[in-house]
Structure 1
Amino acid sequence: MDGPRGNSRQTLFVWGANSYGQLGLDHKQDVLLPQALKEFAGSPKTLRNVAGGGGHSAVITDAGELFLCGQNKNGQLGLNHIEDVLHFTLCSSLAGFPVVQVACGWDFTIILTESGHVLSCGSNSFGQLGVPYTPRGCSVPQKIESLKDKVVNIAAGLRHALVATENGSVFQWGTGMVSHAKRSCQGKMIPSFLRAKEPCKVTGFENIQMKNVTSGSYHAASLTAEGELYVWGSNKHKQLVSKDDFLLNPQKIEPHYFLGEKVRRVWNGWTHMVAQTGRQCFSWGWNEHGMCGNGTEANICSPEPVSALTSGKLFLIGCGAGHSMACCYFSS
């Protein structure tokens, strides 16, 4: 999360589905209008990162503290028990290990520490924890020992996860994409990184330096330091800008789709994508609920500028399953 600094104070607002207490409001009723969380209302602590999963939520403060709440039947909150939690609770097992990023899958959590180590907790039924495989979940964050290089960025899909390392490599694990790949690519060899239950290097980036990763439900993306965007996985709603139903290997989205500008940042919804260049915001993919922001509900097969955001300075974007959010500064 990037936002204003200085003497400003942040307040965390929450709304929407709350069946497991994932809004942190001490109840399980859905909330139709944004409500401020008392723990973070006017708090001097800066919120560094927020993330939401299938039924759980996570927040990181500038001090590196990780707070979680919501569904916990698989131990995805990392609190050493499996009871749902109705308010944001500190993950005390990480004391002394400042957290810089958190990513939430459907029923698991991936955690990146300041030292570049990655930990995971929750369900492991698809190998999404990246540890020696066991179908049992884990209720305490455990280090993924096989990741030897320093990690700088993490992402979680529905039942898979991926990381970018300091040396520019990308690793993926979790078998959540495999069934889609097999249906769409019958007779073709499925790459090892789509079938792995422990971190496996994503092929196709051998001579390319990747700087970050992001993921939708069944697709993934990675951005190079030079602003080139690569995508792979399910293309059911043409969110990968390809004619193929599934991309087994990373494929670059050509720069002309972004009017020749370099991509600075990218975000993924369930099946749509949003990218920011130096001057514009682009969106594409599934658009049934209008989350691509072009005023229609028709799917968009290639990046289109979001005209409503062209006059402001964009500093924060978020994507959900069927919605998008953007925070901008506008000149007075």
Structure 2
Amino acid sequence: MLCWGNASYGQLGLGGIDEEIVVVPRKCEYFNGKRVSDVGCGRRHTAFLLDDGTVYTCGCNDLGQLGHEKSRKKPEQVVALDAQIIVALSCGESHTLALNDKGQIFSWGLGSDGQLGLNNFEECIRVPRNIKSLSDVQIAQVACGYWHSIALARGGQIFSWGQNRYSQLGLGITGQSISTPQMVQSLQAIPFSQISAGGAHSFALTFSGAVFGWGCNKFGQLGVNDTNDRCFPTLLKSLRSQRVIYVSCGEDHTAVLTKEGGVFTFGAGGYGQLGHNSTNHEINPRKVFELMGNVVTQIACGRQHTLAFTPACEKMDSFGLGGNGQLGTRSTCNRKSPAPVKGPWATSSTAEEYDSEQSCFVRRIYAGGDQSFAHYCTTNVSMLIRGS
């Protein structure tokens, strides 16, 4: 596991290092010899899922978001989940969701907006609890916004709960927070492949590549050609001709990846996080010109930065806010267009030119808050994993 960005709360899992920021990818020694299958990045905390279904967390724990008692600068196992085989997780501003192999969700951390789905508004839950109101439904995916949560059921239904100040629950109403999962009725009978949540906006992607967005749209982060919030899921008509395969959300911006390897971004651009060599906001999806010609296979949005991975060129690019080292460019400057992340990236085609101990075959990239991660292996087991 390589990590870079803000380390001030221990959210990179590097232990008690002197630096507050890490400006170039560094190996997280804790996971040597362990197989990581998922990473959730919160604002100031991180959760790691191992292949054996165990969960480790590190970083800020002021609201119980680590699922154990104290703040930790090194990953520590969430022992309350010992009896569970966890298969996916997600982190919000200060809360965490974990999904087990039976399709049940466990939640912990900040609950004052109902984002834990536990039918209460308790400020702080430090031990993971099962969301019992979803016990009859098998959940396939979870996604945390800052103060809201969404879940995709294996049957295709989408559920949402938590803060609804910006209509980010997609229920046709605005305002009052909701502490128990509600089905997003307007999306029934549509088969979805992925869900994603940003600061206060949400997305759902169909198997055919249609993209629906709802919630806060102050900066155009829904990509629907205006800046009005949406209380119902709205189809992004401008992406209908593209075969979208993945959606990632930052605090106020969105990036989508197409089957052909193209990247479109929209929403807040004040730090360059859209990659268009400007700090303008974009209310419509706009292709990142400097990534054209490359087949990007993975994207990840942090709070105000974006990562894109192009295995054929052995490179990872980053753009946006850089003040905490989250771009991995050896500097703390913001970047308005894609800049290379300084790392030992390798591809199958060039593997023989590298010392296998030094070259990293990237399996998956992650970003959130002001931190970034790349999960890699040092030998090319087979083909690089394409897409997220």
Band the TM-score falls in, shorter-chain normalisation: 0.7 to 0.9
Q: Which amino acid aligns with 2:283?
A: L
1-structure distance, mates of 2:279, 2:367: 24
- Aligned position for 2:284: 249
Correspondence 1:58 to 2:97: yes
How does 1:46-125 map onto structure 2 within 5 Å?
47-83=86-122, 84-125=124-165
Correspondence 1:313 to 2:354: no
- Bigger shift: residues 214-223 or 195-204: 195-204
How does 1:142-291 map onto structure 2 within 5 Å?
142-148=182-188, 149-175=190-216, 177-178=217-218, 180=219, 191=225, 194-242=228-276, 243=278, 245-254=280-289, 256-257=290-291, 260-279=293-312, 280-291=315-326
Q: Tell whether the 8 Å contact from 1:125 to 1:136 is kept in structure 2 after alignment.
A: yes
Deviation string 1:58-82 (CA, Å, 9 cap, x unpaired) is 1112332211101111211111122
Q: Pick from 28, 34, 39 the counterpart of residue 75 of structure 2.
A: 34
- Aligned position for 1:185: none
Q: Tell whether the 8 Å contact from 1:79 to 1:92 is kept in structure 2 after alignment.
A: yes
- Bigger shift: residues 298-307 or 135-144: 298-307
2-structure distance, mates of 1:2, 1:282: 22
- Bigger shift: residues 154-163 or 275-284: 275-284
Q: Tell whether the 8 Å contact from 2:67 to 2:109 is kept in structure 1 after alignment.
A: yes
1-structure distance, mates of 2:226, 2:146: 22
| Structure 2: runs of 5+ lacking an equivalent | 1-35, 39-49, 346-358, 381-388
DSSP 3-state at the match of 1:39: helix
Deviation string 1:85-109 (CA, Å, 9 cap, x unpaired) is 1111111222232222211112110
CA separation of 1:86/1:320 partners in 2, compared to 1, >3 Å: closer, same or farther?
Answer: same
Q: CA deviation at 1:253?
A: 1.2
Deviation string 1:25-53 (CA, Å, 9 cap, x unpaired) is 1x3x4333321221346x672x3222111
Q: Tell whether the 8 Å contact from 2:199 to 2:252 is kept in structure 1 after alignment.
A: yes
1-structure distance, mates of 2:338, 2:237: 25
Q: Which amino acid aligns with 1:13?
A: Y
Ranges of 4+ aligned residues in structure 1 off by more than 6 Å? none
Q: Which amino acid aligns with 2:327?
A: C
Q: Tell whether the 8 Å contact from 2:226 to 2:283 is kept in structure 1 after alignment.
A: no
1-structure distance, mates of 2:375, 2:344: 9
- Aligned position for 1:24: 67
- Aligned position for 1:186: none
Deviation string 1:217-275 (CA, Å, 9 cap, x unpaired) is 00011111221111100101111122251001000113x536x3311111100011112
Q: Tell whether the 8 Å contact from 2:92 to 2:146 is kept in structure 1 after alignment.
A: yes
- Aligned position for 2:354: none
1-structure distance, mates of 2:169, 2:256: 20
